[in-house]
């Protein structure tokens, strides 16, 4: 018996393959997203969750530009996980060097397409994750992965750190981040 028994969570490690995401001094975003993504998936599974990942290795979705790749990623999610095959979608990212903005993001209400209830639940999941990460605030943003995926489940994007941080390749930091995000998801569902 786990606290997330039967809860279906789609983990989306951002970027991948030809699309590295943000980079700084040899730090490459796609690598951090994937490493924490695996750890998060393991952590959630250990609590009884059913895990899906949009990618489990260093691959992209076939787009020649990063924007095109994100649209193909959205198509992949819609083709494979629509309509109600996930109870939450969590996209993992690392923000641009020195940008700040660490915490969880839900869809900007002005983006359209989401019901008030979907916006509310996504914001609630974001609040739980930001709090569990260490008292960060939440943000809203118009992002394709949140806007164009069809599932009506709560959907958030997490900026885990900024890419200039020298500790993001440390196993300890990655384990800890995965655990904090899992705690936030856990708090939302319980
Ligand atoms: Zn990113």
Cα(163) to centroid(ligand 1), Å: 10
Residue-wise DSSP of the chain: --TTTT-EEEEEE--BTTB--SEETTEEHHHHHHHHHHHHHHHHHHTT-EEEES-SSS---S-SSHHHHHHHHHHHHHHHHTTTS-SEEEEEEEEPTT----EEEEE-GGG-SS-HHHHHHHHHHHHHHHHHTTS--EEEE--HHHHS----S-EEEEEEEETT-TTTT-HHHHHHHHHHHHHHHHHHH-
C-alpha of residue 15 to centroid of ligand 1, in Å: 6
- Confidence at residue 115, expressed as pLDDT on a 0 to 100 scale: 94
Task: Give the number of other CB atoms < 10 A from CB of residue 146.
Answer: 26
Instruction: Say how many Å lie between the first and final Cα of the chain, rounded.
Output: 14
Kindly state whether residue 137 falls inside one of the protein's structural domains: yes
Cross-strand partners of 23: 28
Determine how many CB atoms are found less than 10 A away from the CB of residue 33.
24
Residue 3 resides in a domain: no
**19: CA distance to ligand 1 center in Å?**
10
pTM above 0.85, yes or no: yes
- CATH code assigned at 95: 3.40.630.40
Residue 1 within any structural domain of the chain: no
Instruction: Indicate whether 77 belongs to any domain.
Output: yes
Q: Domain count of the chain?
A: 1
Å from CA of 171 to ligand 1 middle: 20
Instruction: Kindly state whether residue 68 falls inside one of the protein's structural domains.
Output: yes
Residue 131 lies inside a defined structural domain of this protein: yes
From ligand 1's centre to the CA of 69, what distance in Å?
12
Residue 115 C-alpha to ligand 1 middle, in angstroms? 25
pLDDT tens by residue, the chain, 190 residues: 689 999 999 999 999 999 999 999 999 999 999 999 999 999 999 999 999 999 999 999 999 999 999 999 999 999 998 766 899 999 999 999 999 999 999 999 999 989 999 999 999 999 999 999 999 999 999 999 999 998 889 999 999 999 999 999 999 999 999 999 999 999 999 9
Question: What is the distance in A from the centroid of ligand 1 to the CA of 96?
Answer: 8
Report how far ligand 1's centroid is from the alpha carbon of 23 (Å). Answer: 10
CB atoms within 10 A of CB 99: 13
Q: How far apart are CA 32 and CA 16, in angstroms?
A: 10
The answer to whether position 44 is within a domain reads yes
Distance 116 CA to ligand 1 centre (A): 26
2 is a domain residue = no
**What's the CA-to-centroid distance between 50 and ligand 1, angstroms?**
24
Contact 77/54 with Cβ under 8 angstroms?
yes
Between the CA of 30 and the centroid of ligand 1 the distance, in Å, is 7
The whole-angstrom separation of Cα 19 and Cα 30 is: 8
Residue-number span of the structural domain to which 81 is assigned: 8-189
- Cα 187 to ligand 1 centre (Å): 25
């Amino acid at each position: 018996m786990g606290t997330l028994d039967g809860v279906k969570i789609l983990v989306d490690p951002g970027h991948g393959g030809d699309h590295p995401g943000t980079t700084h001094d040899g730090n490459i975003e796609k690598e951090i997203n994937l490493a924490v993504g695996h750890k998060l998936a393991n952590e959630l599974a250990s609590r009884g969750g059913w895990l899906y990942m949009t990618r489990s290795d260093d691959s992209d979705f076939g787009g020649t530009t990063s924007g095109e790749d994100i649209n193909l990623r959205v198509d992949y999610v819609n083709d494979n996980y629509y309509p109600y095959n996930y109870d939450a979608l969590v996209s993992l990212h690392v923000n641009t060097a020195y940008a700040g903005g660490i915490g969880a993001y839900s869809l900007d209400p002005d983006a359209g397409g989401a019901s008030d209830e979907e916006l509310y639940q996504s914001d609630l999941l974001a609040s739980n994750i930001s709090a569990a990460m260490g008292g960060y605030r939440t943000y809203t943003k118009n992002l394709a992965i949140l806007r164009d995926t069809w599932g009506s489940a709560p959907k958030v994007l997490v900026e885990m750190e900024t890419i200039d941080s020298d500790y993001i390749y440390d196993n300890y930091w990655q384990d800890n981040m995965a655990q904090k995000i899992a705690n936030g998801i856990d708090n939302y569902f319980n």
